[in-house]
Amino acid sequence: MKIAVCVSHVPDTATKIKIGADEKMIDPAGVVYIINPYDEFAVEESLKTKEKFGGEVIAVSVGNDNSKETIRKSLAMGVDRGILLKCDRALDSYGIAKALSEELKNYVPDIIFMGKQSVDYDDAIVGQLTSEMLGISCITNVIELKIDGQKITAEREIEGGKEVVESELPIIITTQKGLNEPRYASLKGIMAAKKKEIAEKQVGDFSNLTEVLKIKKPAEKQPGRIVGTDASAVPELVRLLHEEAKVI
Amino acid sequence: MPKYIIAILEQRENKLKKISFEVISFSKSLSEKLGLEAAAIVIGDEIDNISEINNYGISKVFHFKNKLLSNYSVSAYSDIITEFVKQLDVEYLVLGDTSLGKDLAPRIAARIKAGCVMDIVNINLSEETPIFTRPIYAGKALVDMKFNSDIKVVTIRPNVFKGQKIDNPNTLNIDSKEIQNPNLKTRVIEIKKAEGKLDVAEADIIVSGGRGLKGPENFSLVENLADVLGAAVGASRAAVDAGWRSHRDQVGQTGKTVSPSLYIACGISGAIQHLAGMSSSKYIVAINKDKDAPIFSIADYGIVGDLFEILPALTEEIKKINS
């Protein structure tokens, strides 16, 4: 089976966001970058799929040179080889999907995994856009997956429950927490990853369909009042919620 | 002829969801400000509450019908909507930022070369071109965006733009069309409901528990309080990673980002990832025994104390108000 996994290099979720001087990007000073947490489920699922059906897994990332760290991390977990689609300018999700689909249409994967969203821009649409550009199916937000011949049965998380979805290969699966437990890279895996190939290609000249005008911090919430220090404060708290905030 | 703004409505089990009325009110309001013609689309079998649509300001609805389309099918829904949109002069498509809207919006957008701005929480019409604001980094920052495409697809965050009934609605005009042989390549075959529980993504009140509860069995204190408030139960990442609660309850950067009217954090210290996911709640109550817990820095009301005493007392006190 030909398997691809798309990975994204993002600020650690513990990052305190500072707005950059141009107000279009965050200030990268002191920010620790990691593999997008949702992509770890994608890497794990791609490896499990290869273990079951054989074949090859390639990792693809769109980004600058630093994204190689994240590709390398997926190689250490067991991915066979990597491709960095180099791009130093900011792309919107449409541009990223365009870059991925231009590359992946040559590889023709049976199945592509990627996180349901990256934890930086939180758009959660790259998988769907890429599937349209490649003309293949897509199931998002997947927490359980079965592959049986060409047939795919997946469970996806929805409000108040789960949907069981049927579709067929070739397909893009976007992964949600709960799908699996991502493996740790072994020492052997980390050593082996150093020898694995990461091909570099330049991203074409796509124009974005949306444009960032300004990034800003949300209004700081002022700390409120401490109503009390034990259960005797409860009636006053309820009164405030009922009469002042009017939310109960 | 004015261009169209199309509200794409969402139904489950033949009933329009609350978000659909938010999408209608939002589209109606934008249509008036931009001089557009507003209409709605709904796909599914018979829709029980379809007659509610005009009460929120849109009186033209296109209903694409087939029994097989009661459940969501991304392949069929995107075919039908794309086909429809191509016949009209459309400027905006509006959906809710729900599991369905997030899945569907980009599929349509890609086919009609429309840009997508997802999960918007604000719109500014005072500049030359409309500016849409959406949270990024789970709400640690906001971004102002504009479109470079002719057709524009936006999804609105649930609970932010309220569904508002209007006075003297026009008569509802339903244009119903039976869909032959829908493309069911990708389709929902079953919905497994989480037993009778409200989802944090949809709830107006959330009561969340964290490590301070000391164990999964003590979540009953949170559940009891949630019950009397008609609230959903949420959890911190620590409680989820410890296996006390399912991931679907997790609020924060690798869980759900929520904006309820009231968020009650019980035994949650307030890690940055958690605060990112809930700080846009309208009112926040924190109950924690550590007075220096970061959660108090964003709480409107706090009680510094033992939640094992406070939660049962709070549940009883709210029962009094209810009765």
pLDDT band, residue B1 (cuts 50/70/90): confident
The pLDDT-based confidence of A86 (bands split at 50, 70, 90) is very high
Query: What CATH number is attached to the domain comprising A146?
Result: 3.40.50.620
- Using the 3D structure, point to which of B161, B178, B195 is the last residue of a domain: B178
Does B318 reach chain A within 8 Å, measured CB to CB?
Answer: yes
B105 found inside a domain: yes
Q: What mean pLDDT comes out for the span A37-54?
A: 98
d(CA B113, CA B93): 12
Q: How many domains are contained in chain A? A: 1
End residue of a domain, out of B138, B161, B178 = B178
> How far apart are the C-alpha atoms of B184 and B41, rounded to whole Å?
19
In CATH, what number is assigned to the domain containing residue B143? 3.40.50.620
Structure confidence by residue, pLDDT tens digits, A150-204: 999 999 999 999 999 999 999 999 999 999 999 999 999 999 999 999 999 999 9
The answer as to whether B183 is a domain residue is no
pTM for the complete prediction?
Answer: 0.95
CB atoms within 10 A of CB B321: 13
Looking at the structure, tell me whether residues B129 and B38 fall in a common domain. yes
CB-closest option in A15, A159, A248 to B202 = A159
Q: Domain residues for A125?
A: 2-202
ipTM of this model?
0.95
* pLDDT for the residue A207: 86
Same structural domain, B173 and B220: no
> How many helices (H) and strands (E) would you count in chain A?
6, 13
* Spatial separation of the C-alpha atoms in residues B207 and A248, rounded to whole Å: 13
Indicate the number of domains in chain B: 2
Helix count and strand count (H, E) for chain B: 7, 18
Q: Would you state the pLDDT for residue B196?
A: 64
Residue B53 is part of which domain span? 4-178
Q: CA nearest B129: which of B92, B102, B82? A: B92
Q: Which residues of B touch A214 (CB under 8 A)?
A: 143-144
Q: What pLDDT, in 10s, does the model give residues B66-120?
A: 999 999 999 999 999 999 999 999 999 999 999 999 999 999 999 999 999 999 9
B139–A237 C-beta distance less than 8 A: no
What are the residues whose beta carbons fall under 8 Å from the beta carbon of A60, sequence distance 6 or more? A4, A5, A6, A7, A82, A83, A85, A100, A103, A104
B189-193 long-range contacts, Cβ below 8 Å, gap at least 24?
Answer: B189/A164, B189/A165, B189/A166, B189/B71, B190/A163, B190/A164, B191/A158, B191/A161, B191/A162, B191/A163, B191/A164, B191/B12, B191/B71, B192/A155, B192/A161, B192/A162, B192/A163, B192/A164, B193/A160, B193/A161
Give how far B319 is from chain A: nearest CA, Å. 11
Angstroms from B50 CA to nearest CA on chain A: 21
Report cis status (omega within 30 of 0) of the bond before A218: no
CA–CA distances in Å: residue B111 to residues A9, A174, B38, B106, B151: 28, 20, 22, 9, 11
- For helices B219-229 and B307-322, the axis angle rounded to 10 degrees is 20
In a domain, A229, yes or no: no
Q: B260: domain CATH number? A: 3.40.50.1220
- The predicted model gives A117-142 an average pLDDT of 97
Q: What percent of chain B has pLDDT over 70?
A: 100
User: Roughly what angle, to the nearest 10 degrees, separates helices A67-77 and A37-53?
Assistant: 40
How many angstroms separate the Cα of B210 from the Cα of each of B45, B216, B307?
42, 10, 11
Instruction: Over range B174-193, report the average pLDDT.
Output: 97
Instruction: Give how far B284 is from chain A: nearest CA, Å.
Output: 9
Whether residues B172 and B211 share a domain: the answer is no
- Do B225 and B303 fall within a single domain? yes
Nearest chain B residue (CA) to A158: B99
**Interchain CB contact of B229 with A (< 8 Å):** yes
Residue A246 lies in a domain: no
The percent of residues in chain A predicted with pLDDT above 70, rounded, is 100
Two structure tokens written together for B93: 């498509």
Of A72-86, A161-175, A211-225, B228-242, the one with minimum mean pLDDT is A211-225
Q: Is the residue at A178 inside a domain?
A: yes
What single DSSP character describes residue B252?
S
A contacts of B109 (beta carbons < 8 Å):
94, 125, 129
A23: Cβ contacts below 8 Å, ≥ 6 apart? A214, A215, A216
* Any domain includes A155: yes
Exposed, middle or buried, B219 (CB in 10 Å: 0-12/13-18/19+)?
Answer: buried
